[in-house]
Amino acid sequence: MNINATLLAQVLVFAALVWFTMKFIWPQVIEAIEKRNKEIADGLEAAARGRSELDAAQDRIEKLVGEARGQASEIIDQANGRAARIVEEAREEGERERQRLVDSAHAEIKRETSRARDDLREQVAALAIAGAEKILRREIDGRAHGEMLKSFAGRI
């Protein structure tokens, strides 16, 4: 095993290899690694930010839903109240209408009754006169006693 010029050649090859590695391999690979590391870090950060934003959005949604639910029940209450009022008004209206109808029917009945009475009275008077005429045909002056009978019939 002897030392010779192989050693010098090896030193030169070594130097060339190290130079090549330093120039064309190391920086590129390190750059790629660091860039990826940065991208991964950014990605993780973005993910964390997205998560917190999602949480905030969820909170907001919950609040909005709660408000909407409150408003809805308020509206339903109002509607129920209004419906009750409308029903009440309708009932009152119906009641009034009924009363009116009953009243007018009563008035009608009364009118009819009085007319019928008047008719009846006149007919009774006429009958009475006719009866009296038949009975007292000769002795009684139809006209003179007619006046008396008519006033008599007015009292029926």
Contact positions vs other proteins (CB under 8 A): 1-11, 13-15, 17-18, 20-22, 24-26, 28-33, 35-36, 39
| Sign of the dihedral defined by the CA atoms of residues 14, 18, 23, 25, in that order | positive
- DSSP secondary structure string, 72-119? HHHHHHHHHHHHHHHHHHHHHHHHHHHHHHHHHHHHHHHHHHHHHHHH
Q: Closer to other proteins at the Cβ: 6 or 155? A: 6
The Cα-based distances of 66 to 63, 73, 76, 128, 130 in angstroms read: 5, 11, 15, 90, 93
Shortest distance, position 48 Cβ to other proteins, whole Å: 21
Report how far apart, in Å, the C-alpha atoms of 153 and of each of 4, 8, 123 are: 173, 167, 9
Residue 40 CB, nearest distance to other proteins (Å)? 10
Q: What would the two tokens of residue 122 be? A: 């006149």
Q: Toward other proteins, which CB reaches closer, 3 or 144?
A: 3
- Please state the closest distance from residue 71 (CB atom) to other proteins, in A: 50
In the complex with other proteins, the residue whose CB is nearer, 7 or 144, is 7
